[in-house]
Amino acid sequence: KAGVTQTPRYLIKTRGQQVTLSCSPISGHRSVSWYQQTPGQGLQFLFEYFSETQRNKGNFPGRFSGRQFSNSRSEMNVSTLELGDSALYLCASSLSSGTGVYEQYFGPGTRLTVT
């Protein structure tokens, strides 16, 4: 089974621009989550999507948004980029069925650099 894929792997943007990152989950996984990883703040939860609906959201400004498509693929968008948005953005997918507790499987990440 193919793992979680993220595109692009590396991205350089200028302050004020916007960016869209893409994530394809493992086949059969309906939950997709996004995390931001920085040296200073560590790993922080951005949001989770399930069946095209945002199910949970972390403490990030409204410039960060996402969506999920009917095939479970997800995109996240960051508008009006700031220098502090430079980070590794990780996507993770998991099964989500009933009340079970499932581990998440992570993609390799997209390294975003804002100049």
Partner 1 sequence: AQSVAQPEDQVNVAEGNPLTVKCTYSVSGNPYLFWYVQYPNRGLQFLLKYITGDNLVKGSYGFEAEFNKSQTSFHLKKPSALVSDSALYFCAVRDGGVSQGNLIFGKGTKLSVKP
Residues that bind partner 1 (CB under 8 A): 4, 31-33, 35, 42-43, 45, 47-50, 55-56, 58, 90, 92, 94-96, 99, 101-109
As a whole number of angstroms, the distance between CA 23 and CA 49 comes to 12
Closest approach of Cβ 80 to partner 1, in Å?
25
Residue among 5 and 79 whose Cβ is closer to partner 1:
5
Closest approach of Cβ 99 to partner 1, in Å?
7
What the block records as the tokens of 70 is 């009917």
As a whole number of angstroms, the distance between CA 69 and CA 67 comes to 7
Strand, helix or coil at 84?
A: helix
Residue among 11 and 95 whose Cβ is closer to partner 1:
95
Residue among 21 and 92 whose Cβ is closer to partner 1:
92
Closest approach of Cβ 84 to partner 1, in Å?
18
Beta strands at 74-78 and 105-106: parallel, antiparallel or unpaired = unpaired
Helical H segments across the chain, by residue range? none
DSSP character at residue 71: T
